[in-house]
Amino acid sequence: MVDLGFVGPSRPANDHEFVKVVDGDTPRVTMDIRAFDLNVLLTEADKAWTDKLGAWHEFGEDLLLACEYRACIKLGVKNLQDPAKAIAEAYQRVCVDLRTMTEVGLYGYHLVPPQHRLWIWASDLEQSRKDLPLVR
């Protein structure tokens, strides 16, 4: 349901509050993601962006992340027959700003720095709102 990409190391179970997340690749499997782990993720993602590490080092700020890349492929078809349908198929995930847990919607991802984007399938958004402290 929620694609966190990477979850960092955890502290002992009762040190931090849990956020319950269902893994979309393995239906009905539940992971407990601690607020601490999310903060580690945010810190490391910010460091990778700022210090130009990993993919940011190799490709720079022009790097398209998976969701953006797939959207470009779907919309870049020569002689697009049905633009409305292509847009609907290209934008199926809602972006959340991990710094504030604020939903920016299907098309507002460009307002969020790449290292702070969390992608949630639009079809899973209702459940995600129950499982995560999302702000609309």
Q: Is residue 33 part of a domain?
A: yes
Q: How many structural domains comprise the chain?
A: 1
Q: Which residue has the higher pLDDT, 18 or 94?
A: 94
Rounded to two decimals, the pTM is 0.67
Residue 136: inside a domain: no
Q: For 26-59, write each residue's pLDDT tens digit.
A: 433 344 556 677 788 889 989 999 999 988 899 8
Query: Residue 116: what residue type?
Result: H
- Do the domain assignments include residue 94? yes
39 inside domain: yes
Predicted local distance difference test score (pLDDT) of residue 69: 86
Q: How sure is the predictor about 6, in pLDDT bands with cuts at 50, 70 and 90?
A: very low
93: in domain: yes
Q: Residue 76 sits in which domain range? A: 2-131
Residue 110 Ramachandran class (φ > 0 left, ψ -120 to 50 alpha, else beta): alpha
